[in-house]
Structure 1
Amino acid sequence: MKRILKKWNQLSLVKQIFIGLIVGIILALTIPQAAKPVVIFGTLFVGALKAIAPVLVLFLVMSAIAQHKSGHQTNMKAIILFYLVGTFLAGLTAVIASFIFPVGLTLGKGAEGVTPPGGVVEVLKTLLMNVVDNPFNALVNANYIGILAWAVLLGLALRSAQETTKTMLSNVSEAVAKLVTWVIKFAPLGIMGLVVESITSNGIDSLLGYGKLLGLLIGCMVFVALVVNPVIVYLAIRQNPYPLVFKCLKESGITAFFTRSSASNIPVNMKLCEKLGLDKDNYSVSIPLGATINMAGAAVTISVLTLAAVHTLNIQVDLGTAILLSVLSAVCACGASGVAGGSLLLIPLACSLFGIPGDVAMQVVGVGFIIGVLQDSFETALNSSTDVLFTAAAEYKEWRKDGKEINIQKAA
């Protein structure tokens, strides 16, 4: 047994997760009833990530800001610019693809009891109210906007504190990060449980009727991940971006695909940033921020499903309105919560741009929930992996300016 465990520990986490994935698929397809108890591993894994992530974000951001030295350069402006440009281009890609490959919907019921926001103003108001949320309430409810706000304010307040206080804060931050590494070691079991749950609960048959819509959604997301994002990264670092792109997709995208929560994947992204040798002062802030506003996958979902409703209702759309939809989808995506299905409730906002009634828009949301098994998984994988990709791109851009060697092949 010791020899088996030793060989298992010698495998990379990605290989371990792949083995858990294959075992989960085999169990779900061969003995679905007997495999159902395995689902508890997935529930425990996601629950542990969700529990530790808010505490990790609070202490990492607070510690990074408190210990920031005056004159030390950060890349937050560049990172935020990449986030916003990437989200807009993802929405624009989805709009163009929806015109080239128009998809219709069979609208029916499926979103009863779900209340969407009333408008973009309401989304922005909610974001602002989350900023001033009670800090303890923010931690309990995993309100990352509120957690970030309090962490930044407390970090700024502690910059003049004694070194012993800063050391203690740093030690607590490192201890929480250590807990995260312990949780992530159980990722293979967690992924196995999540796969069993997904296949035994939803099956594959329920998705076949929406194959064309799913194909368009997933195709757009793959195009953004493998074409749009690499172009952005290349313009920043002037090197082949694909080793870094594939590294982020492999080590961040895979876990995000199964947890279906950008917030839950924050600890995984933190660990990946550390492996890439990035500045902790940057990624301890940019990764939690990215889980909130860097939502390229959400922009794709909002645009594709909205235009699917537009095509179904034979509504004529001009070029100006289509571009406006790209902007609106990007704004709405930034307001999407970092939890499974968070982008779907913002579809009625985009539908309102074309005068589509609320009851019809909610039927579109219902379709989104039906295909959510795959749609939300791909969406989260794109969102979360891009957080690390753009954080790394912004830092490597500065390295290039300073004449520092950028060895992406070695880092990846």
Structure 2
Amino acid sequence: MSAPLRPLLHYLTHGSLVVQILVGLLAGIAVALLWPSAAREVGLLGQVFVSALKSVAPILVFVLVIAAIANHRQGQQTHIRPILVLYAIGTLSAALVAVLASFLFPSELALSATQDAGLNPPGGIAEVLRGLLLSVVDNPVNALQRANYIGILAWALGLGLALRHGSETSRHMLDDLANGVTLVVRVVIRCAPLGIFGLVAATLAESGLDALLGYAHLLAVLLGCMFFVALVVNPLIVFWKIRRNPYPLVFTCLRESGITAFFTRSSAANIPVNLQLCQRLGLHEDTYSVSIPLGATINMSGAAITITVLTLAAVHTLGISVDLPSTLLLSVVASICAAGVSGVAGGSLLLVPLACGLFGISGETAMQVVAVGFIIGVLQDSVETALNSSTDVLFTAAACIDGEVKSPAALARDAETL
């Protein structure tokens, strides 16, 4: 390789991914505005990138969880239980924020178009729980093929526990396999600037921002809730846990995890980024190697916001009177449903009809609300994923600090220097 190309290759493989993503974003906007016909053609880069993410994410979750549990040593300190508590508190708090914002700034929608009959949302909370139970006992090959993350997680937990009694060679093999899959995903993530370039160019060339502007109020409420949770609610939860200034850690998680998740739009695909950030923060490996894949599956505060806001937008549009107990029930239902959302783009929208059913809204009308969600999903789903994924690291770090897995001073020092 010629000498002039070496610095360029080193920058492409080791340079700041965030900067490269921003360059791809600006390049995509420029091509869409100056050369629309070419922008539609480069959309293939975006499709390839999204397909690659979808293909590797289920395998990544499956292998990482098995390896983490199988290699856990008896008597070793972990803090999974307090992290699960933080996940639950964060998701429910996000749903309550969404309820409050929806009443302070009510949104109304134009509901008229018929929707895609191929979508099959659940019909009630009992059906969601039934679906979750069936997902748990799904065939592992089928779960991997359909990206059924609940089934993948269940099988990974079971196999991981069983293999803890296996030979040392087997556990080393699992560890090597996990490292190999993680490396493959990191290679895919390094291609994010090209994928984002293609996605942005094709999207702007085809529809522009007109569709988003038509639902600007609803989008503002959704994004406002997510930013409020990320910058106010989550820091308050972390402060309650660690009793010190949470913002250095909050901003580190948003910058290092949230930005990449914004563009990948997949909590599962962002797992390697989160694992690397946890390692840089000096957290306990036996804790974050389990909590991060687990959080990508069940920690979905952004999804709870989406389900709640869109449901109450339909309620306000139809003039339905809602009392306090009903809104509290909606928050609980949204939190439970959010935990069952797939860790890939757009998973939260198909649970909106279930929440609408609490207020007697028909399935046909609810599916129109889902269609609106897909229209604004260009931004809504990206910000939702950024909130979900960055919160995985944030709560994991908070539990590790509280449990003194790492000294608070050391973590704060690391967070300030990142």
TM-score range, shorter-chain basis?
over 0.9
> Shift of residue 336 of structure 1?
2.0
* Secondary structure at the counterpart of residue 337 of structure 1: coil
Alignment correspondent of 2:8: 4
Aligned to 2:258: 253
1:185 partner letter: R
Given the alignment of the two structures, is residue 270 of structure 1 paired with residue 275 of structure 2, yes or no? yes
Residue in 2 aligned with 1:221?
Answer: 226
Match of 1:353 in 2: 358
Looking at structure 1, the residues matched to 252 and 26 of structure 2 have their Cα atoms a distance apart, in angstroms, of 21
Whether the aligned pair in 1 keeps the contact of 2:61 and 2:268 (CA below 8 Å) is: no
Does structure 2 conserve the Cα–Cα contact (< 8 Å) formed by 1:195 and 1:258? no
| Correspondence for 1:65 | 69
Amino acid at match of 2:194: L
Could you state the TM-score of these two structures normalised by the residue count of structure 2? 0.92
Counterpart amino acid of 1:229? N
Q: Of 233, 238, 243, which residue of structure 1 is paired with 2:248?
A: 243
Is the contact between residue 69 and residue 160 of structure 2 (CA under 8 Å) also seen in structure 1? Answer: yes
- Aligned equivalents of 1:168 and 1:348: distance in 2? 44
List per-residue Cα deviations over 1:355-382 (Å, max 9, x = no partner).
2222222222222222222222211221
- Specify the alignment match of 2:198 in structure 1: 193
| 1:115, distance to aligned residue in structure 2 (A) | 2.0
CA shift in 2, pair 1:38/1:166, >3 Å: same
Q: Distance in 2 between matches of 1:199 and 1:252?
A: 25
Matched, 1:319 2:324: yes
Residues 315-349 of structure 1, C-alpha deviations (whole Å, 9 max, x = no match): 22222222221111111212222222211111122
Greater CA deviation, 255-264 or 347-356?
255-264
Amino acid at match of 2:90: G
Deviations 1:154-204 (A, max 9, x none): 121121222222222222222222222222222222222222233223310
How far apart are residue 410 of structure 1 and its match?
1.6
Residue 178 of structure 2: aligned partner:
173
The 8 Å contact of residues 135 and 150 in structure 1, kept in 2 or not, is answered as yes
Q: Does 1:18 align with 2:5?
A: no
- 8 A contact 2:41–2:202 mirrored in 1: no
| Matched-pair identity in % | 60
CA shift, 1:219, in A, is 0.7
Instruction: Find the partner of 1:30 among 3, 28, 34.
Output: 34
1:287 matched to 2:304? The reply is no
Q: Does 1:145 align with 2:156?
A: no
User: Do structure 1's residue 112 and structure 2's residue 154 form an aligned pair?
Assistant: no
Aligned AA for 1:39?
A: G
Greater CA drift, 93-102 or 265-274: 265-274
What root-mean-square deviation, in Å, do the aligned CA atoms of Structure 1 and Structure 2 show? Answer: 1.9
Inter-partner Cα distance in structure 2 for 1:37 and 1:399? 52
Distance in 2 (CA, whole Å) between partners of 1:265 and 1:404 is 26
Aligned to 2:236: 231
Moved more, 93-102 or 47-56: 47-56
The alpha-carbon distance between structure 1 residues 159 and 191, as it changes in their structure 2 partners (threshold 3 A), is same
Amino acid in structure 2 at the alignment position of 1:153:
G
Residues 256 and 381 in structure 1, CA contact (< 8 A), matched pair in contact too:
yes
Q: Structure 2 vs 1, CA of residues 46 and 277 (structure 1 numbering), >3 Å: closer, same or farther?
A: farther
Q: Deviation digits for residues 202-230 of structure 1, max 9, x if unmatched?
A: 31011211111111111111111111111
Which residue type is aligned with residue 352 of structure 2?
I
Partner AA of 1:354 in structure 2: F
What is the letter of the counterpart of residue 236 of structure 2?
V
1:85-111 Cα distance to aligned partner (Å, 9 max, x none): 111110100101111111211112152
User: What is the CA-CA distance between 1:53 and the residue it aligns to?
Assistant: 2.3
Which of these residues, 87, 91, 96, is aligned with residue 95 of structure 2? Answer: 91
Q: Secondary structure at the match of 1:103?
A: coil
1:305 to 306, 310, 319: 310
Task: Report which stretch shifted further, 282-291 or 99-108.
Answer: 282-291
Residue 385 of structure 1: aligned partner = 390
Give the structure 2 partner of residue 39 of structure 1. Answer: 43
Contact 2:401–2:407 (CA under 8 A) maintained in structure 1: no
Q: Deviations over 1:371-408 (max 9, x none)?
A: 222222211221122122112221122127x8664432
Equivalent AA in structure 2 for residue 127 of structure 1: L
1:289 and 1:12 map into 2 onto residues whose CA distance is: 27
Change (3 A) 1:111 1:384: farther
- With 270-279 and 75-84 compared, the bigger mean Cα shift is at 270-279
Q: Distance between the aligned counterparts of 1:198 and 1:248, measured in 2?
A: 28
State the 1:10 CA deviation. 5.6
Structure 2: distance between partners of 1:161 and 1:271: 27
Shift of 1:9: 4.9
Equivalent residue of 2:403, what SS?
Answer: helix
**CA–CA distance in 2 between the matches of 1:336 and 1:230?**
24
Residues 56 and 344 of structure 1, relative CA distance in 2, 3 Å threshold: closer
**Does the CA-based 8 Å contact 2:281-2:411 persist in structure 1?**
no
Quick one: which of 331, 336, 361 aligns to 1:331?
Answer: 336
Q: Which runs of 5+ in 1 are unaligned?
A: none
Q: Take 2:11 and 2:140, find their aligned partners in 1: how far apart are those partners?
A: 44
Conserved? CA contact 1:236–1:397, under 8 Å:
yes
**Aligned residue in 1 for 2:81:** 77
- Give the counterpart letter for 2:27 in structure 1: V
Distance 1:34 1:204 in 2: 18
Does the CA contact (< 8 Å) of 2:102 and 2:312 recur in 1? yes
Report if the CA contact (8 A) 1:74-1:282 is conserved. yes
Q: What CA distance in whole angstroms lies between the structure 2 residues aligned with 1:27 and 1:64? A: 44
1:42 CA displacement:
2.1
112-121 or 178-187, which moves further after superposition?
178-187
- The one-letter code sitting in structure 2 at the alignment partner of 1:330 is S
Higher mean Cα deviation, 159-168 or 221-230? 159-168
Change (3 A) 1:7 1:168: closer
